[in-house]
């Protein structure tokens, strides 16, 4: 059996990660590949329960508590879903993973990148994706999409101040600069089909369709 790949979509709120993850999964399945589609925080019953706690506005988790909860959710997700799928040789497409903790809890919050990675080593054997698509689009275009999807109803983390989200975006950019082998920057402006085409161009070598 050919070995599957672990692919993640990262980026700020509402940039189109879920939409592109769906389109990529359909494209891979259309080529006969076994693909597990999942998301973070979540993906397993335990991690989805932690997701509800994390995003609930009634709780005032600080970024330290957040980082621990995200790491716990990820540990369950890797143990029960992602790890076994990769062991079976399947592909895994995940909407957010460790880089979101690095960008939000370290970049946006008060943890260092090393501390977040240490938790990841403890919780999830330091599993890293093979390919990470970092989606980026102009702020006004994303604001329009979020407004159409959510109105004014952001969740606990999405509703944090703009300055927090600007630090998150900057940290994502830095992560991509320090790991150009893994990160693929995707211009997420335009229609979903436009963006999907850019993703598929970048995927071509991994699915044997490169020049
Ligand atoms: N290229 C696009 N052009 C216009 N609208 C889009 C595009 N991609 C996604 N959308 C719409 O924008 C909204 C946000 O998209 P999506 O849920 O895929 O983003 P996300 O990055 O996964 O969001 P979140 O960070 O909240 O999980 C949705 O309503 C979606 O239908
Ligand atoms: C995995 C992960 C996520 N977050 C934040 C990012 C978003 O604000 C929410 C998840 O909501 P989405 O609609 O699924 O994008 O959680 C984070 O802060 N740290 C993480 O590791």
- pLDDT value for 141: 92
Q: Is 210 annotated as a binding residue?
A: no
User: What is the pTM assigned to this prediction?
Assistant: 0.97
Question: For the residues of 42-96, what is the DSSP string, one character each?
Answer: -SSHHHHHHHHHHH-TT----HHHHHHHHHHHHHHHIIIIIHHHHHTT-EEEEES
DSSP conformational letter for 163: H
Q: Is 12 annotated as a binding residue?
A: yes
Give 13-51 pLDDT, tens digit per residue. Answer: 999 999 999 999 999 999 999 999 999 999 999 999 999
Report the separation in Å between the CA atom of 98 and the middle of ligand 1, taken as the mean of its atom positions.
20
148 Cα nearest atom in ligand 1: 29
H-helix or E-strand spanning residue 173: helix 162-178
Give 136-172 pLDDT, tens digit per residue. Answer: 999 899 989 888 988 888 899 999 999 999 999 999 9
Question: For the residues of 117-149, what is the DSSP string, one character each?
Answer: HHHHHHHHTT---SEEEEEE--HHHHHHHHHHH
What share of the chain has pLDDT > 90, as a percent?
A: 90
Give 64-110 pLDDT, tens digit per residue. Answer: 999 999 999 999 999 999 999 999 999 999 999 999 999 999 999 88
Ligand 1 pocket mutation pick from 20, 40, 145, 165 by most atoms within 8 angstroms of CB: 145
Ligand 1 pocket mutation pick from 10, 16, 154 by most atoms within 8 angstroms of CB: 16
Give 51-67 pLDDT, tens digit per residue. Answer: 999 999 999 999 899 99
The domains of the chain, with CATH numbers, are 6-205 (3.40.50.300)
Which residues sit with their C-beta closer than 6 Å to ligand 1?
13-19, 95, 145, 149, 190-192, 195
Which ligand sits closest to the CA of 24? Answer: 1
What is this model's ipTM? 0.98
- pLDDT value for 1: 45
- pLDDT value for 211: 60
Instruction: Quote the tokens at residue 113.
Output: 């990148």
Ligand 2 pocket mutation pick from 8, 12, 41 by most atoms within 8 angstroms of CB: 41
Neighbours of 19 (CB within 10 A): 18
Judged against a pLDDT cut of 90, whether residue 10 lies above it is answered with yes
- pLDDT value for 105: 96
Report the separation in Å between the CA atom of 107 and the middle of ligand 2, taken as the mean of its atom positions.
13
95 Cα nearest atom in ligand 2: 14
Judged against a pLDDT cut of 60, whether residue 2 lies above it is answered with no
């Amino acid at each position: 059996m050919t070995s599957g790949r672990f692919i993640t979509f990262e980026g700020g709120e509402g940039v189109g990660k879920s939409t592109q993850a769906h389109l990529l999964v359909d494209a891979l399945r259309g080529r006969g590949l076994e693909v597990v589609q999942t998301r973070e925080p979540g993906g397993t019953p335990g991690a989805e329960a932690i997701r509800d706690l994390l995003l609930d506005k009634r709780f005032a988790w600080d970024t330290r508590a957040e980082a621990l909860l995200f790491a716990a959710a990820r540990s369950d997700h890797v143990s029960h879903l992602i790890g076994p799928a990769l062991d079976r040789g399947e592909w895994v497409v995940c909407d957010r993973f460790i880089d979101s903790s690095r960008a939000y809890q370290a970049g946006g919050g008060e943890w260092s990148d090393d501390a977040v990675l240490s938790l990841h080593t403890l919780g999830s054997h330091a599993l890293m994706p093979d390919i990470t698509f970092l989606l980026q689009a102009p702020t006004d275009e994303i604001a329009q999409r979020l407004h159409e999807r959510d109105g004014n109803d952001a969740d606990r983390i999405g509703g944090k101040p703009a300055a927090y989200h600007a630090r998150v975006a900057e940290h994502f950019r830095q992560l991509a600069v320090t790991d150009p082998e893994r990160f693929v920057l995707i211009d997420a402006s335009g229609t979903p089909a436009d963006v999907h085409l850019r993703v598929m161009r970048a995927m071509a070598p991994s699915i044997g369709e490169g020049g």
